[in-house]
A = this chain, B = another copy of it.
């Protein structure tokens, strides 16, 4: 990780929609002075406690952050992928601790984020109702994502979850050809590579996908936003 100064201009994107407008001039000057820009390499780990805890106001400028839950035996599931366009994700610090699982944040691709230091963030929360409103919206996004995941884990088959995941990849990269290994998919879905490979073969036989050497072509993908539309269709 590499740190440097961030500009207020970049900070503006954090709270979006002119929310910073209502801050006092004094506080804007402080943000300009104190905001920190962090650069991470691909696959680098980010301190979850430090970034996600909500104690620091932060935003993602580039790359991806994957929020991963890992159990004692090392199995993993991706809770959330944070992209610059859905940035502003935050969880209360205390819920990151558990004796049952750990939560990790891993960068995908070269990743840039910046944050406002803890003390200044705390003052922004306490002095500015708009910043509190923004935090509330962050929580809404976080809760919504977790509830959707609970829905999927409870009511969808693994095959349906896998198909949904493939559509999400297509949507994210705006292509029907997904560059992802069976291992990656298994780690995202809390299952094994063998199970993923078996299900993919089944889906290929059903002409839902076409397995290529290093990628998967998703035949059923019908353009951006398609994953949401079909997430509940039976496979």
Contact = CB atoms under 8 A, between A and B. Distances in A.
Interface of A: 69, 71-73, 75, 77, 79, 91-92, 94-95, 98-101, 103, 126, 129, 132, 136, 139-140, 142-144, 146-151, 153-155, 190, 231-232
Nearest to A152: B100
A188 to B, nearest CB: 11
Contacts of A148: 98, 100
Contacts of A150: 69, 77, 79, 146, 149-150, 153
Contact of A140 (B77, B94, B144, B153): B94
A144 B71 contact: no
A92 B153 contact: no
Contacts of A73: 155
Contacts of A155: 71, 73, 75, 77, 101, 190
Given A91-B143, A95-B144, A132-B132, 10 more contacts: A71-B151, A72-B232, A75-B155, A92-B139, A98-B148, A98-B151, A100-B232, A139-B139, A150-B150, A153-B153
Contacts of A140: 92, 94-95
A128 B62 CA distance: 37
Contacts of A103: 147
Contacts of A77: 150, 154-155
A94 B151 contact: no
A95 B143 contact: yes
8 contacts: A73-B155, A75-B154, A79-B147, A95-B147, A98-B147, A99-B232, A153-B154, A155-B190
Nearest to A149: B150
Contact of A144 (B98, B139, B144, B151): B98
